[in-house]
Amino acid sequence: MDGVTLRTANPDDVPGVARLFARSRAAALPFLPVLHGPAEDIAFFAGLRERELMTLAEHAGALVGFMVERPGWIEQLYLEPEQRGQGLGSLLVNAAKQRQKRLQLWCFADNHAGRAFYIRHGFVEIGRTDGDNEEGQPDILLGWPSPD
């Protein structure tokens, strides 16, 4: 995506990240229950930013996406709803692939667009759960590169 810059988040970015998360999740994952309010989301992402690598994607000075990763894992990847399908997610995932030899992530089973996105990027299914997460939704463990 032309004109997008990636940078590491700082503490002042966290409220914007939390707001983008809420918008993105509502648009892309409407089947999920809303379990936390804005203040809880801000506290959650502040903690993640302190412990993990939080990469922001910006276009024309505006936050349009973010990814949180730790060694071997993509923990979060969310985009502004109107930015989906523009190459932004690919930019973030490819940046993580440049930093890491192996990646895993959890994707909700009903997140069909997300699963298709990760499969296009070389991720393969490693395992499944029947919903042992906070949302109580079945999810799929995906990994890259393929073990075979």
Whole-number Å distance between alpha carbons of 13 and 68? 13
Tokens of 6: 């990636």
**Could you list the residue range(s) of the whole structural domain that residue 132 is in?**
4-144
Count CB neighbours of 54 within 10 A: 23
Rg (CA), the chain: 15
Region of 134 (left: φ > 0; alpha: ψ -120 to 50; beta: rest) is alpha
Contact between residue 64 and residue 24 where contact means Cβ atoms under 8 Å apart: no
**pLDDT tens per residue across span 123-138:** 999 999 998 888 889 9
Which CATH number do you get for residue 80? 3.40.630.30
**pLDDT tens per residue across span 47-81:** 999 999 999 999 999 999 999 999 999 999 999 99
Structural domains of the chain, count: 1
**pLDDT tens per residue across span 99-126:** 999 999 999 999 999 999 999 999 999 9
